[in-house]
Structure 1
Amino acid sequence: MAHRNEADNALKRLGWVLGLTRLGLIAEQVTQAFWPLWSLVFTVLAGLMLGVQDVLPLEAVWVLGVIVVAGGLAALVTGMRRFALPGRNEALARLDATLPGRPIQALMDYPVIGTNDSGSQALWRAHQARMAARTRAARPVEPDLRISRLDPFGLRYVAVLALAVALLFGSFARVGSVAGMAPGSGAALAGGPTWEGWIEPPAYTGLPALYLNDQTDRAMSLPEGSRVLVRLYGEVGALTLAETVSGRMGEVPSATEPEQDFTIRQSGKLEIAGPNGRAWEIVMTPDRAPQVRLTGSADVSARGEMSLPFAASDDFGVTGGQAVISLDLEAVDRRYGLARAPEPRPDVKVELPLPITGDRADFEETLIEDFSKHPWAHLPVTVSLTVQDAAGLTGSAPDAAMALPARRFFDLLAAVIVELRRDLLWSRENAGRVAQLMRAVSYRPEEGVFQKETDYLRLRTILRRLEAFDARGLSAGNRDEIAEALWDLALKLEEGDLGNALERLRRAQERLSEAMKNGASDAEIAQLMQELREATEDYMRELAQRSPQEGEEGADQQLSENTMQLNQDDLQRMMDRIQELMEQGRMAEAQQALDELRQMMENMRVTQGQGQPSPGEQAMEGLAETLREQQGLSDEAFRELQEQFNPDAQSGQSSENQGYSGGEGRGEAHDGTGQGRGQGEEGNADGQQPGKGALEDRQRALREELNRQMGNLPGQGTPEGDAAREALGQADEAMEGAEDALRGNDLAEAIDRQAEAMDALREGMRSLGEAMAQQERPGQQGTAENQGNARDPLGRSAGNRGPAGTEEGLLQGEDVYRQARRLLDEIRRRAGETERPEVERNYLERLLDRF
């Protein structure tokens, strides 16, 4: 029996392990049998904590209570039927299943045979000892609480989640309120009647809701439109509600109604009479209408965008706004194209910008819109600003009278075209007058009104279309089409397509002078001054590339002793002074300074062309001539394309316009014969006009000339020179494409490829200029004789001063001090002469300060 005692001792050692395993089995049974019951309890408890019983009608609470009780009883009965208390043997079996070889069962077994055999007994005892040793590794078995097969929809998790939400946002105090809803509840009768109330301000105010039971102050200030909800519990009639804040008319609910809901529309009294009653004096805060005002005058940018600053405010925030622009017809100068009655046009309405972030109760913003293309541009208008709030109230600013800000055109021809466009949009009855004026403007194009023939051709095309439309009856769609074409032409004339620095400089000076006469704004002045600065820099760069070389001493000696030397900084200071005078309104002085600057630039232009040109200059001049010829070919191709779509264009052209071809050679035909188109027609023996075959042959000849120029191009091996050759190679490919298109009678494609060729030519000329500048820099290291003969961009000798960056003295010789003294005296004398221009005297004073 010794082996039996050993087995019993081993089982006794499993006591605590076996107990924990049995508790796990009980937990499994409870979970599987009663999960519907505790899920239902969690759900009901969560609803009570969140106050669902206070929102639902009393009858619904009773019905739900009956359903919950019935469901709970059913779940309890079902669970008790399924529940079976696990015994010791079940715990042993569960624990034995987790051990290898089931040692617990082995310890509980008895030998069937061999009880009297000592060998069998010894073997059995060894087996029992080995199984007892295995039981020492036994550990409590974890219960299996998974019931997904019983709850495939996860309802238990929903119940747990609802309870967690209730613990976070609910209150256990609300659970007790359901007890007072039971019929004939003794506790409710003992506690007496009670009440609850809530006040919800309008959502747009952003104010929190108030629990009326917590409001102990007798006076309350509430915004207009606040909602009041009061519930009376207990015996009907024990509590009554009296109020004078809703202003309700007609059918009013009884004062003993258990639930009452109304909105505050006026100041008054709110009282709950009865046990534990309370009264309040309500002061209604009316919603104020929003306000808006202009904070400054309208301004216009250089691109024509109007900027109108305004400020708006509201007690709870502005939700939207609108600017309405109306034509002030009485203030319009009814002359010329505006003499006719205008066609009806709706007022211009634009939304006011609101802050994207931040508070909208009080803010400042700027309305930015571009009305340059509107027919009312620069005409008298009235601007009305209106804003709204969330309550539907509106506020407006007094109407502001102004001329509608828009883009201004400083090119005279562009300004004329814009005015004609406005007259056409003002009334379609002005079509005849507009066409007549367009004919007058284009009467003598060779006299310099048009910078390019393409501009003239575009204007004549628009003119013929306008006359054709007007003959058939000008519709609104055709009118708008013509107006858009006029606008594009005016933009092209204003902005221009400047191919060289000198033309761009002159144009910038002319536009700035015109802006002074017309009283331009600060933004427009800043843009025009920036264009002048850029044009001046480009022109100075071109002069530096074309500076006279050695061998021009004779020309140098002919210069006046009053000749001045100016660098780029001096020119920039002069332009800064011009801009400063314009911004201060001193237009006369600014115009005088601009004239002086123009004169100085003209002097630079005259002196820079002397002497024999270098190979680089010859190449540059050749490319410039190629560019001009390519422009002429493009202009003639454009005219041929125009005649395809309008065969009568040539016959309808006035005789005074014959032979005009724009470009550099106005008054000459593109074929170089010196005859106009009308003359060319007479000169052809067969009576045919010069056809596209002539264009394609001339295009081929121009491409061959470009290839010849590329062979003589300087700067080979340098990055700039290689870039110039690459750009000219692209121009060659574009010319070849234009030639093929001309042979294929595809004029539109030919014009596009010719435009690409001109762009590539300009890029090649720019790279060539940089290559020439790079070649001139190493030349400064030459002999002193060459350096002494170097010329500045003004075409004058550098004198006896040493080259920049060297240690060479300014004045070499035995009489150096006497010469320096004489030079300073001369500078002082000239600086004291008041009749000299202020710009020159300022420059002389800077020289004195420096030396």
Structure 2
Amino acid sequence: MSGNRTPKDDALKGLAWPLRLTRAGMVAERATKAFWPLWSVLMLAIALVMLGVQDFTPPKLAMAAVAVFALAAVWTLVYGLRRFRWPTEGEARERLDATLPGRPITALTDTQAIGADDAASQAVWKAHVARMAARAKGAKPAPADLRVSAKDPYALRYVAALALLVALLFGSLNRVQTVADIASGAGGTAMAAGPSWEGWVEPPAYTGKPSLYLNDLPQGDLSVPKGSRITVRLYGKVGSLTVRQTVSDEITEDATAVSQEMTVTKDGVLAIEGQGGAEWQIALLPDLPPTVRFDGELKREARGVMKQPFAASDDYAVVRGTAEFRLDLETVDRRYGLAVDPEERDPVVLDLPLPITGSRAEFTEELVDDLSEHPWSGLPVTLTLTVEDASGQTGRSEAMHMLMPGRRFFAPLARAVVEQRRDLLWSRQNGARVAQVLRAVTHRPEGFVRNDSAYLMLRVAIRRLEAGVAFGMTPELQDEIAAALWDIALIFEDGSLADAKERLHRAQERLAEAMKNGASKEEIEDLMQELRDATKDYMRQLAEQQRQNGEQDQQQAQNGETFEFTQEELQALMDRIQELMEEGRMEEAADLMQRMNEMMENLQMAENQNGQGEGSPDQQSMEDLKDTLRDQQGLSDEAFRDLQEQFNPNANRGESGQNRGESGGQGEGRSHTGQGDQGQGGGEGQTGQEGGGKGQSESLADRQQALRDELRRQENGLPGAGTAEGDAAREALERAGRAMDGAEQALRDGQLAEALDNQAEALEALREGMRNLGDALAQNRQQDGSQQGQAQTRDQANGRDPLGRDNSGRGSSATQGDVLLNGDVRRRAQELLKELRRRSGDRSRPEIERDYLKRLLDKY
């Protein structure tokens, strides 16, 4: 028989299971759409019963609710039965056939109506049936559409389902039996069945533990976290049930109260005494205090940022933490400015960083902060870490004795300023001593103070400090002067240098200072990176700005003065210096550093490009403004000393208190020697001269007027006309001139305080004008780039690169022997090749760098 079966028979037989499943889906679809109201009513009724709503409802109202739900259930059942219709096999086949392309099931059940006697027509029909049979074999059950949103626009079924879910989580099936008591009409729920009770245990939220329903728990031992809240409710006749507990210190006045709550604070007993009562032995789960410890050594960076790793843990979670720095006064070296008693300061408290995501039960983090500007920076302190959990328990680490981390200053002048700032913040009693030391430091600044702007700022700070000493040092003035000294120290350390060569020298000096004083690995990395950046800027400036002097190059080449090296050799040399420093071989690193400095100094480059040398008019204008700024500062200093002498008439003129002239003499120096027409000691500041007060003010006024005239002359020849920077410079100098006019008039009127204010305004305007003028000159230099390009083209034509090096060959440079330090050439070559291979395989390096390294390896 099987041999007579056709593809049509096989296809129809294969449709049996898809048809059954499709029909079952149709049953579920029609049942859902017909009976969803019934299911919703039943779920809501069961949820209300499990939650015990009937226990808090008057019996009559409860019976009415039961009747309403019963009628609703009957009505929804009738509604569903009337609308539910069992799907037939034909409907299922139609549904399945509609999901297939070409409706193959219908085609398989059809018969050939025309051409049954025609062989060709029969062949076509058989081919069509075979194709439909092939399609029918791939039939899959048609999906059922269970959506009833159109019939339930308010989503009442979801409300009922949510209520049932809440009941399953927080209710009890035991409450269902109380419905029978309501239906019996015995006069009450609990009273008909006897007394009953309910109880819950709610652990603190921070524990993350779930609530417990006492009715579902077996009697006996029960462990709960400390601080758990127990709630017990009694139903039935008052007094039939009582609560006895020894787990809380809370006193319950009435043990028979309907509702009782208590907080578990100790081990004890919880008992519900009476018919159907229960008893538990409550034991507290231990809540250990959190712990914290240092998890590594303190890391200090050269610019003051500290990084202290730590680890903390708790049995639940750490919610907060602090790091506290306290001054270790017993170990402070009480000399010089630290000899006096310090002013009271609160400990430094920093918040410990906590994980943003993940568990806080056990974690490691890193405290990062910059305490460089704090008065205790560099002094002995103790660091203690403290953490706290949600229950208020705290844990502390052992105190770490250390020097408060802060920025390290390598420039001697910057270190001196920072030290005096520390002494001033230590105690306001050090004000006079700090002013005296700073005046001594700035005595004869030529060749010692490299930054004129910082020098003038320091003079202003000294003047304000002396005024505070004379008239009373307030905490606000103390903080203001300390902030100014910090800014000045940063300028002395980092500089506001526009010249790349000066930045290179500064970086070399800082690194050399670190070699002498000893520096950490992090500081070495920072300083070496600073040196690399400064060297790169210097080399780029030379390549971009230099115009070669052919005759001078030729002459120096004949004298053997040419010193050439490649950028790769310079980079390898700096890597070797860092390696030696990290290994502690400071002497070798210092020698190598000295050799590199000589190489940089001997780099053959021409100077004063594009006529912008020291003798150019633009440069001369800038120098003239610097002289004007310096002279105005001298006048301001002298006017300030005269103001002090008004309050101390018995003191020698020019020497009030701790003040001296700039040259160090009593009333002598630049500020007190007049216009140069008086000898040493015979100036207007000399003691006993006739007409002291008024004559001095008139002389200062004349000098102020002369300085104003000089500034007016400089304004007429100021470069940069027509540019935004040049116009801003002229506007600033005009403001300075108006302030000078005001200072002159105040000096003639004898109003020294008003004159000082005008002079300070003039100083600030002069500084702003100099900054704007510098920007204008820099812009002019950038516009001269075409001439620079022509010079570079001429260098390339002569076979030299922009740095003046010979481009004729491709081999090593003339300095190769120096770079290798006369060592084992073969060994050094192997080391360099090994380092090149390591760097070329480092995926973190830029792609362009790794391509270059690979080309080097292919070449050598």
Range with greater deviation from structure 2 (543-552 or 316-325): 543-552
Q: Specify the SS of the correspondent of 2:676.
A: helix
Q: Which has the larger radius of gyration?
A: 1
User: Are 1:443 and 2:439 matched, yes or no?
Assistant: no
Instruction: Tell whether the 8 Å contact from 1:306 to 1:370 is kept in structure 2 after alignment.
Output: yes
Distance 2:218 2:520 in 1: 63
Corresponding residue for residue 733 of structure 1: 727
Corresponding residue for residue 201 of structure 1: 203
* Counterpart residue type for residue 593 of structure 2: L
Corresponding residue for residue 605 of structure 2: 608
Which of residues 744, 761, 768 in structure 1 aligns to 2:777? 761
Corresponding residue for residue 315 of structure 2: 315
Distance 1:831 1:188 in 2: 100
* Counterpart residue type for residue 478 of structure 1: L
Corresponding residue for residue 37 of structure 1: none
Counterparts of residues 238-253 of structure 1 (less than 5 Å): 241=243, 243-244=245-246, 246-248=247-249, 253=254
Which of residues 680, 684, 695 in structure 1 aligns to 2:710? 695
Distance 2:156 2:818 in 1: 104
Distance 1:731 1:390 in 2: 60
* Counterpart residue type for residue 363 of structure 2: F
Q: Specify the SS of the correspondent of 1:395.
A: strand
Structure 2: unaligned runs, 5 residues or longer: 1-40, 69-153, 645-652, 685-697, 741-761, 837-855
Corresponding residue for residue 399 of structure 1: 399
Q: Specify the SS of the correspondent of 1:366.
A: strand
Q: In the TM superposition, what whole-angstrom CA distance separates every residue of 1:71-129 from its partner, at most 9, and x where no partner exists?
A: 99xxxxxxxxxxxxxxxxxxxxxxxxxxxxxxxxxxxxxxxxxxxxxxxxxxxxxxxxx
Distance 2:710 2:46 in 1: 92
Q: In the TM superposition, what whole-angstrom CA distance separates every residue of 1:526-558 from its partner, at most 9, and x where no partner exists?
A: 332233223222332343443534334651443
Change (3 A) 1:465 1:218: same
Shift of 1:434: 1.6
Change (3 A) 1:393 1:547: same
Instruction: Tell whether the 8 Å contact from 1:620 to 1:765 is kept in structure 2 after alignment.
Output: no
Instruction: Tell whether the 8 Å contact from 1:730 to 1:757 is kept in structure 2 after alignment.
Output: no
Range with greater deviation from structure 2 (261-270 or 632-641): 632-641
Change (3 A) 1:518 1:67: farther
Instruction: Tell whether the 8 Å contact from 2:190 to 2:196 is kept in structure 1 after alignment.
Output: no
Instruction: Tell whether the 8 Å contact from 1:321 to 1:387 is kept in structure 2 after alignment.
Output: yes
Distance 1:640 1:702 in 2: 24
Corresponding residue for residue 594 of structure 1: 593
Shift of 1:780: 6.1
Corresponding residue for residue 377 of structure 1: 377
Corresponding residue for residue 301 of structure 2: 301
Q: In the TM superposition, what whole-angstrom CA distance separates every residue of 1:575-613 from its partner, at most 9, and x where no partner exists?
A: 222222223332222221111111112222xx4349xx8
Instruction: Tell whether the 8 Å contact from 1:325 to 1:347 is kept in structure 2 after alignment.
Output: yes
Distance 2:674 2:583 in 1: 52
Distance 1:237 1:633 in 2: 101
Q: In the TM superposition, what whole-angstrom CA distance separates every residue of 1:431-466 from its partner, at most 9, and x where no partner exists?
A: 2222221222122222x2211333333323322322
Change (3 A) 1:297 1:702: farther
Q: Specify the SS of the correspondent of 2:551.
A: coil
Corresponding residue for residue 775 of structure 1: 790
Corresponding residue for residue 223 of structure 1: 225
TM superposition score normalised by structure 1: 0.66
Corresponding residue for residue 361 of structure 1: 361
Q: In the TM superposition, what whole-angstrom CA distance separates every residue of 1:615-654 from its partner, at most 9, and x where no partner exists?
A: 5677996655554445444555566677788765995685
Q: Specify the SS of the correspondent of 1:324.
A: strand
User: Are 1:62 and 2:77 matched, yes or no?
Assistant: no
Corresponding residue for residue 12 of structure 1: none
TM superposition score normalised by structure 2: 0.65
Distance 1:644 1:465 in 2: 13
Counterparts of residues 321-332 of structure 1 (less than 5 Å): 321-332=321-332
Change (3 A) 1:829 1:356: closer
Distance 1:644 1:841 in 2: 69
Distance 1:380 1:55 in 2: 70
Q: Specify the SS of the correspondent of 1:744.
A: helix
Range with greater deviation from structure 2 (403-412 or 367-376): 367-376
Instruction: Tell whether the 8 Å contact from 1:435 to 1:466 is kept in structure 2 after alignment.
Output: yes
Change (3 A) 1:623 1:844: farther
Shift of 1:301: 2.8
Q: Specify the SS of the correspondent of 2:498.
A: coil
Range with greater deviation from structure 2 (326-335 or 542-551): 542-551
Distance 1:759 1:677 in 2: 35
Change (3 A) 1:67 1:495: farther
* Counterpart residue type for residue 333 of structure 2: D
How many residue pairs match? The answer is: 658
Distance 2:554 2:399 in 1: 72
Instruction: Tell whether the 8 Å contact from 1:325 to 1:349 is kept in structure 2 after alignment.
Output: yes
Corresponding residue for residue 469 of structure 2: 470
Change (3 A) 1:639 1:755: farther
Shift of 1:53: 3.9
Q: In the TM superposition, what whole-angstrom CA distance separates every residue of 1:460-485 from its partner, at most 9, and x where no partner exists?
A: 33223222222233333332232222
Instruction: Tell whether the 8 Å contact from 1:292 to 1:396 is kept in structure 2 after alignment.
Output: yes
Distance 2:793 2:506 in 1: 35
Shift of 1:510: 1.2
Q: In the TM superposition, what whole-angstrom CA distance separates every residue of 1:673-698 from its partner, at most 9, and x where no partner exists?
A: xx9974288999x9632634333334
Instruction: Tell whether the 8 Å contact from 1:325 to 1:384 is kept in structure 2 after alignment.
Output: yes
Change (3 A) 1:781 1:587: closer
Change (3 A) 1:731 1:842: farther
Q: In the TM superposition, what whole-angstrom CA distance separates every residue of 1:717-750 from its partner, at most 9, and x where no partner exists?
A: xxxxxxxxxxx83443234324433443473445
Q: In the TM superposition, what whole-angstrom CA distance separates every residue of 1:499-547 from its partner, at most 9, and x where no partner exists?
A: 3222222122112211222223333333322332232223323434435
Distance 2:710 2:442 in 1: 26
Q: In the TM superposition, what whole-angstrom CA distance separates every residue of 1:480-505 from its partner, at most 9, and x where no partner exists?
A: 23222222221221221213222222
User: Are 1:524 and 2:538 matched, yes or no?
Assistant: no
* Counterpart residue type for residue 762 of structure 1: A
Structure 1: unaligned runs, 5 residues or longer: 1-40, 73-156, 660-666, 670-674, 708-727, 805-809, 811-819
Corresponding residue for residue 570 of structure 1: 569
Identity of paired residues, percent? 40
Distance 1:616 1:842 in 2: 46
Instruction: Tell whether the 8 Å contact from 1:692 to 1:745 is kept in structure 2 after alignment.
Output: no
Shift of 1:378: 0.9
